[in-house]
Amino acid sequence: MTDIVSKEKRSSMMAGIRGRDTKPELLIRKAIFARGFRFKLQDKSLPGKPDLVFPKYKAVIQVNGCFWHGHDCPIFRLPKTRRDFWQEKITGNQLRDKRNIELLKGAGWRILTVWECALKGQNKLPLGVTVDLIENWLLAGDETSVEIRGV
């Protein structure tokens, strides 16, 4: 199947996709801030520049897009064109994620990954439930690596 837009237009569209301040990330940031939690954004001193850093709790939160990180959910679908390119790109992202998680764990940080499918789509969780899960995880201080995903 051929693309419905020109190669130049598709390149421009893909270049416009942000790596930070995404809608899912802003949703989580506003909700968790409203609950009284304070955090740093994209701390460059930590592996992978986590989206939200909670030094008080020695915890980080990553808000991952299901497509870009190859999540096993209904939102992710490998494109039909240039499959080899996309498979390599997404696999590279997954390997980098694993490496960064191991580095963070090794430095004593706890990691929570909130997947895009938990926040949008037909399988999303209610926002209040997602924020409750985040708050409970932050305050419990026990589990090292946790994921929140859609139902």
Domain ranges, ordered by start, for the chain: 18-148
* pLDDT, greater one: 24 or 19: 24
* 8 A C-beta contact, residue 116 and residue 24: yes
At 37 the pLDDT is 97
For 76-113, what is each residue's pLDDT tens digit? 988 888 899 999 999 999 999 999 999 999 999 999 99
For 50-80, what is each residue's pLDDT tens digit? 999 999 999 999 999 999 999 999 989 888 8
What is the spatial distance between Cα 151 and Cα 140, in angstroms, rounded to a whole number?
Answer: 23
> What is 18-148's CATH number?
3.40.960.10
Closest to 35 measured CA to CA, from 126, 108, 127, 114:
127
Using alpha carbons only, what angle is made at residue 14 by residues 13 and 17, rounded to the nearest 5 degrees? 95
* 8 A C-beta contact, residue 104 and residue 111: yes
